[in-house]
Amino acid sequence: MSGFVVTNNLSSVVNSIGKNNFVPNQKAQIGIVFGIITTDNTPTQKQFERAGGFASIGAIFYKNIEDIESKDLTEGVDDNFLDKCDIAIPELSTTNYYPLFQELVILKDLPSSNKKISNTSIKKYYSGPINIWNNPQLNSQFSSDISIAGKTFRQNPNVRPLLPFEGDYIIPGRQGSALRFSSTTKLYNNLNQWSSVGSDDSPITILSNGLKFDPKKKYYVEQINKDDSSIYLTSTQAIPLQINIIGSLNPLTSPTDPSKYISSQIILNSDRVTLNSKKDEVMIFAKTNVEVNTNNIINLNAGERVHLNTNAVFLGTDNNQLPSQPVLLGYKTIKVFEKLQESLIQLALTLSSVISAPEGAPIVGLNTAGKELLEDMKQICDLLEKIPSQKVFTA
């Protein structure tokens, strides 16, 4: 077959196997779930203690499907009913995916924790739930009333399976969240938002929550601008993220729009994004630029101080160009004013006592002007002491 890779020497291994005569020794054991332990009072306090307390989290109360009577599916589930149910625990400890009320599970007899003491010691385990409806939300075969799927669980009839593409590994949640390990699929570019560019072996990982299902469609594919929250880990894909900035992101640095970037990137998208460090720093590094954009206000709040350490600091732009007006250095400006003050004070002292020659009579106009200038300079001197900022410093 063209394009199909066969491992070297595999044919000789296949030929040595012979005819497959495997026959299962027994049919699968199927159980119907009537209770699941998730807290100390689910399904009831009595059953929680009966199963072993918190060490039994994930355990189910079930009846074999062959032993089910019609009344078991219609009458209320209380302690008397659950006392007649058997108990099974999850087969795997690596995943916590517990069934809901009246979902079906596969039962297995496997070694118990005291297997070393007795070779015949076995315990009942379960896997599942069985995907009878091929829907991530609920796979109960018998219940017609969706409100009894659990104490807190409520079914959303709009939830749809995610559309898979070849090679995808999808972990769906019951209420509209999913983790997809996928790749570019250019043949189906019209069906997803990550296959417009790149090659079919380019990986992508998508974690999405609050999928916006369309009740008119039988399946769903993630949509970054509609889903409530999502994280995209890309390699060569262009993701059509709509940002809230109008016009150029930065006319001075001209960064690539996130929707047009085709190298690896991480996109976090939600109504709000919060980064919080409980103990140490929040650190952001970039090889080129760090862009922070908003249509409203940027706040920088620090309990002690704010440092800006760089070769040059520019405030604002001038016709989309760097501003050219430098700010004044505080202490050097004060020294210039102090020098000017000294000169003006000396002038004021001279003018305030000047007399006319040769008679020696005072020149009243100049004397008055000198005294007024001297008083003004005293006020300016007081103001100079208040000019330096107590919070902002520059090199």
Reported as a single tens digit per residue, the pLDDT across 86-126 is 999 999 988 899 999 999 999 999 988 775 555 556 889 99
Q: Where are the domains of the chain?
A: 29-148, 158-299, 311-395
pLDDT the model gives residue 57: 94
Grade residue 6 by pLDDT with cuts at 50, 70 and 90: very low
List, for residues 123-179, the tens digit of each pLDDT value. 899 998 999 888 888 888 765 554 467 778 888 888 888 999 999 999 999 999 999
List, for residues 226-237, the tens digit of each pLDDT value. 999 999 999 999
Cα separation values, 335 from 137, 173, 332, 390, Å: 75, 69, 5, 17
Strand order from edge to edge, sheet including 229-233: 169-172, 177-183, 203-209, 229-233, 266-269
Cα separation values, 158 from 139, 244, 249, Å: 15, 29, 37
Which of helix, strand or coil describes residue 267? strand
Which of helix, strand or coil describes residue 59? coil
What pTM was computed for the model? 0.79
Grade residue 10 by pLDDT with cuts at 50, 70 and 90: very low
* Mean pLDDT of the 293-316 span: 88
Distance, in Å, from the CA atom of 203 to the CA atom of 194, rounded to the nearest integer, reads: 10
Grade residue 22 by pLDDT with cuts at 50, 70 and 90: very low
Grade residue 357 by pLDDT with cuts at 50, 70 and 90: low
Q: Which residue has the higher pLDDT, 343 or 202?
A: 202
List, for residues 203-229, the tens digit of each pLDDT value. 999 999 999 998 888 889 999 999 999
pLDDT the model gives residue 107: 96
* Mean pLDDT of the 52-72 span: 90
Q: Which residue has the higher pLDDT, 46 or 331?
A: 46
Strands 86-90 and 122-127: parallel
Paired tokens of 382: 């007081």
List, for residues 306-321, the tens digit of each pLDDT value. 888 888 888 887 787 8
* Mean pLDDT of the 354-367 span: 69
Q: Which residue has the higher pLDDT, 187 or 18?
A: 187
Q: Is the pLDDT of residue 368 over 90?
A: no
Closest among 164, 93, 177, 92 to 134, alpha carbons compared: 164
